[in-house]
């Protein structure tokens, strides 16, 4: 256990016995060197050239600083044997820590540590700056340290014997490993819940916890020690980015857990502004490390946490116990962040071991939120298997019903088409012709409407000589030929019955209809129709033409064309006549 105070001999801390563990606060003296004006080589040769001052509790936690700090501890080995000791600075993110031991008998030793070195180049395999040395028996020595950092500057020191130092390291790694292990467990549970429920909320929660764990790994130098130890520059890039991203994700997810109606829009906007500012400052610090950038980043995160805490407490007053678990989680992480931020800024906050408050607050947040998610999102709980099966069957039946409805619609369209189509020739039938004529005659706003009625000359002889199959081919050939003579988007060809066909000519006067009739007659007369292997036949048509007159009805139009057709057949066939 740590002694409450180091035993001293004059101004020197007494080194004696095999086991020794002391905090060096009471024996420490220091000097601030702004701009590094003092030559380091001269100090190491003659430490007394500096105006050393006793360190106070506040002086051990400076915060952001652009100065070089000189530390001094006088030691006295009162034993008859040499004693090996290890001095540790309990702040792992110091850039540069230079150690030198100067003894009265002429013995000296020196080492360099800090984040500016690859981990393998450190004098001791420790994530914190540490220096092992041996004091000769009955010797007075001065331990001098020079510290610079673009990060915050803190230097609580401890002196250990080798055994105590090993125990302290094991305990430190055990505590941090347990904390990170619990965070990893929460992450795994969140991802499993996301897979089981197929919801994004548990996965979002796991992402937030991962960002929080990354902050601990980076700021505690565990990642530097075990992952990227040969890339010290990467540590300076990751640290601010991890802080900015973790603040953004944690605050955003916490807000999503709170009842939306209880939060003022202005508060949300202010928090979003703090996220953006933190991310920008984090990127700036990663590119251009500077104590000012880091201080601003810490201040922005701290102010954002204060705002989040205030909004949370206000929500509890409005929403009552429903927001209690979330409020407890946010309070834990906010208080821990504020304590850690105050320490990093050197504001005299309660001094706890480095990152203990922050790690504890983040862990409490993760555990409380993980426990409160089912109550905050009851609709996102895992559905019972029976409900899932019902939903699956309903979805299948819905798809089947939609497919059946589509098939019925297609069938109905086909039936509607068949109801107005002649199955042999593919033209419209008599029913469609009657409906169309009645609709056009009833519309006074339409233009002139003409009508042609024609039949195939001597069609009975075709059936008698060549058979009914040849007659069917003739009907189809004539229909196809006539269709080609008509306007696709206006004129309508119908089978009137037997070998008779009708043509409806919208917006066509009598003169235009007669021209169409002649065109049809000529085209049909020129068609060769196969009737037997190697044989063809030709047919002609006779046509009657009429035009709808004012006050007349469709029956008059058809009757007039029928009489004109009779006149064409009576006068020799293969001709057309127009109704007078």
Q: Is the pLDDT of residue 376 over 70?
A: no
In 409-499 the beta strands, taken as DSSP E runs, fall at 449-456, 492-497
Using CB atoms within 10 Å of the CB of residue 356, give its burial: 0 to 12 exposed, 13 to 18 middle, 19+ buried: middle
What's the pLDDT at 477?
93
Share of the chain above pLDDT 70, in %: 88
Using CA atoms, how far apart are residues 308 and 273, in angstroms rounded to an integer?
Answer: 12
pLDDT at 79: 94
CA 404 to chain centre: 38
At residue 551 the predicted structure's pLDDT band, cuts being 50, 70 and 90, is: low
- Under 8 Å between Cβ of 345 and 152: yes
Considering only CA atoms, which of 337, 356, 351, 290 is closest in space to residue 59?
A: 351
| pLDDT tier, 119 (very low <50, low <70, confident <90, very high otherwise) | confident
More confident residue, 326 or 416: 326
Whether the predicted pLDDT of 382 surpasses 60 = no
Extended strands (E) in 374-515: 449-456, 492-497, 500-506
- So what's the pLDDT on residue 455? 93
- Res 230 pLDDT > 90: no
Average pLDDT over residues 162-182: 88
Which secondary structure element, helix H or strand E, spans residue 479, and what is its range?
helix 468-484
Segment 126-170, tens digit of pLDDT: 888 999 999 999 999 999 999 988 778 888 899 999 999 999 889
Q: Which residues contact 353 (CB under 8 A, 6 or more apart)?
A: 90
Whole-number average pLDDT of the chain? 83
The whole-number pLDDT of residue 9 equals 47
Confidence category of residue 577, pLDDT binned at 50, 70, 90 = very high
- Among residues of the chain, what percentage have pLDDT more than 90? 28
How far is Cα of residue 190 from the mean position of the Cα atoms in its chain?
17
Among all chains, which residue has been given the structure tokens 């565990």?
Answer: 222
Q: Residue 218 and residue 231: Cα distance in Å, rounded?
A: 13
pLDDT band at 410 (very low <50, low <70, confident <90, very high): low
pLDDT in tens, 247-261: 889 888 888 877 766
Helices and strands (H and E) in the chain: how many:
15, 21
Find the mean pLDDT for residues 3-25.
72
Phi-psi group of 117: left, alpha or beta (phi > 0 → left; psi -120 to 50 → alpha; rest → beta): beta
Higher pLDDT, residue 60 or 465: 465
Contact 189, 205 (CB under 8 A): no
Please report where in the chains the tokens 């003169």 appear, as a residue.
511
The half-sphere exposure of 132 on its side-chain side, counting CA atoms within 13 A, is 12
Q: How confident is the model at residue 380 (pLDDT cuts 50, 70, 90)?
A: very low
Per-residue confidence (pLDDT) for residue 58, from 0 to 100: 65
Inter-residue contact 521 to 565 (CB < 8 Å): no
Enumerate the β-bridge partners of residue 8.
13
**Section 553-570 average pLDDT:** 91
**Better-scored residue on pLDDT, 295 or 568:** 568
Give, for 530, the enclosing helix (H) or strand (E).
Answer: strand 529-532
Calculate mean pLDDT across residues 430-434.
Answer: 89
Q: What three-state secondary structure class fits 521?
A: helix
Closest CA to 446 of 518, 488, 504: 504
Residue 440: band (very low, low, confident or very high) from pLDDT cuts 50, 70, 90: confident
User: With 50 as the cut, is the pLDDT of residue 500 above it?
Assistant: yes
Region of poorest pLDDT, from 10-19, 37-46, 249-258, 387-396: 387-396
- As a whole number, mean pLDDT of residues 269-294 equals 85
**Which pLDDT value is given to residue 2?**
38
The pLDDT confidence band at residue 513, using thresholds 50, 70 and 90, is: very high
List % helix, strand, coil for the chain (3-state, nearest 5).
Answer: 55, 20, 25
Find the mean pLDDT for residues 340-363: 74
Q: What is residue 4's predicted lDDT score, i.e. its pLDDT? A: 35
Q: What is the rounded distance in angstroms from the CA atom of residue 96 to the CA atom of residue 26?
A: 23
Residue where the block lists tokens 């946490």: 305
Q: What is the pLDDT of residue 523?
A: 95
CA quadruple 484, 488, 491, 494: dihedral positive or negative? positive
pLDDT at 5 over 50: no
For the record, the structure tokens of 107 come out as 């013995």
Query: Quick one: average pLDDT of 408-426?
Result: 72
């Amino acid at each position: 256990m740590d002694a409450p105070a180091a035993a001293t001999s004059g101004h020197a801390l007494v080194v004696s016995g095999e086991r020794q563990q002391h905090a060096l606060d009471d024996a420490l003296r220091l000097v601030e060197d702004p701009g590094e004006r003092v030559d380091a080589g001269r100090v190491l040769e003659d430490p007394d050239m500096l105006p050393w001052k006793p360190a106070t509790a506040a002086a051990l936690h400076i915060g952001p600083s652009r100065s070089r700090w000189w530390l001094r501890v006088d030691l006295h080995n009162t034993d008859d044997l040499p004693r090996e000791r290890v001095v540790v600075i309990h702040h792992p993110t110091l850039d540069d820590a230079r150690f030198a031991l100067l003894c009265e008998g002429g013995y000296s030793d020196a080492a360099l540590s800090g984040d500016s070195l690859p981990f393998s180049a450190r004098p001791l395999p420790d994530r914190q700056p540490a220096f092992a040395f041996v004091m000769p028996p009955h010797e007075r020595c001065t331990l001098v340290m020079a510290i610079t950092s673009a990060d915050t500057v803190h230097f609580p020191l401890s002196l250990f014997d080798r055994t105590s130092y090993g125990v302290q390291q094991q305990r430190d790694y055990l505590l941090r490993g347990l904390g990170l292990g619990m965070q990893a467990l929460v992450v795994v549970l969140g991802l499993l819940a996301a897979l089981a429920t197929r919801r994004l909320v548990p996965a979002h929660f796991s992402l937030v916890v991962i960002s929080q764990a990354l902050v601990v790994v980076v700021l505690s130098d565990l990642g530097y020690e075990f992952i990227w130890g040969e890339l010290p520059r990467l540590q300076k890039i990751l640290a601010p980015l991890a802080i900015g991203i973790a603040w953004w994700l944690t605050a955003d997810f916490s807000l999503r857990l709170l009842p939306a109606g209880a939060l003022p829009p202005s508060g949300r906007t202010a928090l979003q502004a703090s996220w953006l500012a933190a991310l920008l400052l984090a990127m700036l610090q990663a590119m251009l490390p500077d104590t000012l950038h880091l201080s601003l980043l810490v201040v922005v995160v701290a102010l954002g946490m204060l705002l989040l805490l205030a909004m949370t407490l206000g929500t509890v007053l409005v929403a009552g116990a429903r927001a209690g678990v979330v409020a407890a989680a946010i309070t834990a992480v906010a208080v821990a962040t504020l304590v850690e931020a105050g320490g990093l800024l050197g504001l005299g906050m309660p001094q706890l071991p480095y990152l203990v408050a922050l790690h504890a607050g983040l862990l409490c947040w993760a555990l409380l939120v993980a426990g409160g998610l089912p109550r905050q999102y009851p609709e996102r709980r895992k559905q019972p298997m029976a409900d899932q099966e019902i939903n699956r069957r309903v979805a299948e039946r819905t798809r089947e019903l939609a497919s059946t409805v589509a098939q019925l619609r297609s069938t109905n369209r086909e039936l509607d088409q068949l109801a107005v189509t002649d199955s042999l020739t593919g033209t419209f039938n008599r029913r469609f012709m009657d409906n169309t004529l009645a609709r056009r005659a009833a519309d006074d706003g339409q233009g002139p409407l003409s009508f042609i009625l024609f039949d195939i000359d001597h069609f009975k002889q075709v059936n008698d000589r060549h058979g009914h199959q040849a007659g069917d081919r003739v009907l189809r050939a004539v229909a196809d030929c006539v269709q080609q003579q008509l306007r696709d988007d206006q004129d309508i060809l119908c089978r009137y019955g037997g070998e008779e066909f009708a043509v409806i000519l919208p917006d066509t006067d009598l003169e235009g209809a007669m021209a169409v009739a002649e065109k049809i007659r000529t085209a049909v007369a020129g068609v060769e129709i196969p009737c037997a292997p190697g044989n063809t036949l030709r047919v002609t048509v006779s046509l009657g033409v009429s035009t709808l007159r004012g006050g007349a009805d469709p029956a008059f139009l058809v009757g007039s064309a029928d009489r004109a057709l009779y006149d064409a057949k009576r006068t020799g066939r293969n001709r057309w006549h127009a109704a007078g």
